[in-house]
Chain A
Amino acid sequence: MAFSRAASVVAFAALLAVPVVFDMFTAYQLGLYLIFGMVGQGIALCWGRAGFLPLGQALFFGMGAYIAGAALKSADGNLVLLAPLLVLAIIVPALLAALVGLLVFNRQIGSGPYFSLITLALAMLGFQLANSADTITGGFNGMTGIPGLPGFDSYGNLYFVVVGVLAIVSLGLFWLLKTPFGVLLSATAQNEERLQFFGFSTSALKAAAFGISAGLAGLAGALYAPHQGIVTPQSVGFLLSAEFVIWTAVGGRASIAGPVIGAVVIGFLASELRDTFRYWEAVIGLIFIVTVLKFPQGLIGLAELLKRRLSKADGNTARIRDINAPAREAGGAPALAFEDVRVTMGPVRILDGLDFRINRPGIHAIIGPNGAGKTSAFNAMTGRLPLTSGGISWRSRSLADLKPFQVARTDISRKFQIPSVFPELSVDENLDIALWANRTGVSDLFSMRPLRWRSDLYDTLTERFPFLKDGGGGIAGSLSLGQRQMLDFSMTYLTEARLVLLDEPCAGLSASETGAMIDAIAAINSDLGSTAIIIEHDMRVVERLSDHVFVMHQGRLLAEGDIAAVRANPDVKAVYSGGTK
Chain B
Amino acid sequence: MDLILTNGMNLVYAVATLALIALGLAVVFGLLGVMNMAHGEFVMLGAFSVYVTQQAGLPMLAAIPLAIAVCAIVGYLVEWSIVRHLYSRPFDTLLATWGLSILMRKLVEAGFGRDYKSIDQVLPGTVDVFGIAYPSYRLLLLAVIAIFFGLLFAWYRRSNTGARIKAMVSNPQLAAAVGIDTARLARMTFVFGVCTAGLAGVALAPLVRVEPYMGIDYLLSSFFILVVGGLGSLEGLLIGSSVIGGTDTVISTLFAKTSGYMAVLLISILFLWLRPDGLFSRR
Contact = CB atoms under 8 A, between A and B. Distances in A.
Interface stretch (A287-295, A315-323, A359-367): A287-295
A454 B92 CA distance: 39
B262 A111 contact: no
16 contacts: A53-B94, A108-B276, A113-B90, A114-B273, A117-B272, A121-B224, A124-B220, A125-B269, A246-B99, A279-B110, A281-B102, A282-B110, A285-B102, A288-B99, A292-B92, A292-B95
A239 B109 CA distance: 14
A120 B95 contact: no
B274 interface: yes
A242 interface: yes
Interface residues of A, number: 38
B117 interface: no
Nearest to A289: B99
B262 A125 contact: yes
A374 B242 CA distance: 45
A132 interface: yes
Contacts of B269: 118, 121-122, 125
Given A118-B273, A124-B265, 16 more contacts: A53-B91, A103-B273, A104-B273, A114-B227, A116-B94, A129-B262, A249-B95, A279-B110, A282-B110, A285-B99, A285-B100, A285-B103, A288-B98, A289-B82, A289-B96, A289-B99
A118 B220 contact: no
B182 interface: no
B268 A121 contact: yes
A281 B103 CA distance: 8
Interface in A98-140: 103-104, 107-108, 111, 113-114, 116-118, 120-122, 124-125, 128-129, 131-132
B110 A292 contact: no
Contact of A53 (B95, B265, B272): B95
B266 interface: yes
A246 B266 contact: no
A445 B213 CA distance: 44
| Chain B interface bracket (under 10, 10 to 19, 20 to 34, 35 or more) | 35 or more
B157 interface: no
Interface in B84-125: 85, 90-92, 94-96, 98-107, 109-110
Interface of A: 53, 55, 103-104, 107-108, 111, 113-114, 116-118, 120-122, 124-125, 128-129, 131-132, 238-239, 242, 245-246, 249, 278-279, 281-282, 284-286, 288-289, 292-293
B35 to A, nearest CB: 6
Contact of B96 (A108, A113, A292): A292
Contact of B274 (A53, A107, A238): A107
Nearest to B103: A285
A108 B101 CA distance: 27
B262 A117 contact: no
B273 A113 contact: no
B94 A282 contact: no
Contacts of B104: 285
A120 B261 contact: no
A117 B223 contact: yes
Residue in B85, B220, B223, B276 whose Cβ sees the most chain A Cβ within 10 Å: B276
Nearest to B264: A121
A107 B272 CA distance: 10
A302 B56 CA distance: 48
Nearest to A51: B91
A120 B227 CA distance: 14
Contacts of A118: 269, 272-273
B226 to A, nearest CB: 10
A114 B275 CA distance: 11
Contacts of B265: 121, 124-125, 128
B258 interface: yes
Contacts of B262: 125, 128-129
B272 A114 contact: yes
A191 to B, nearest CB: 16
Contacts of B223: 117
Interface string B117-160: 00000000000000000000000000000000000000000000
B27 to A, nearest CB: 18
A518 B53 CA distance: 77
B70 interface: no
A289 B100 contact: yes
Nearest to B85: A293
A245 B98 contact: yes
A113 B231 CA distance: 15
A121 B265 CA distance: 6
What are the nearest 3 A-B pairs in CB distance?
A285-B103, A285-B102, A289-B99
Contact of A128 (B105, B109, B213, B258): B258
A292 B81 CA distance: 13
Contact of B103 (A111, A120, A249, A286): A286
Contacts of B109: 281
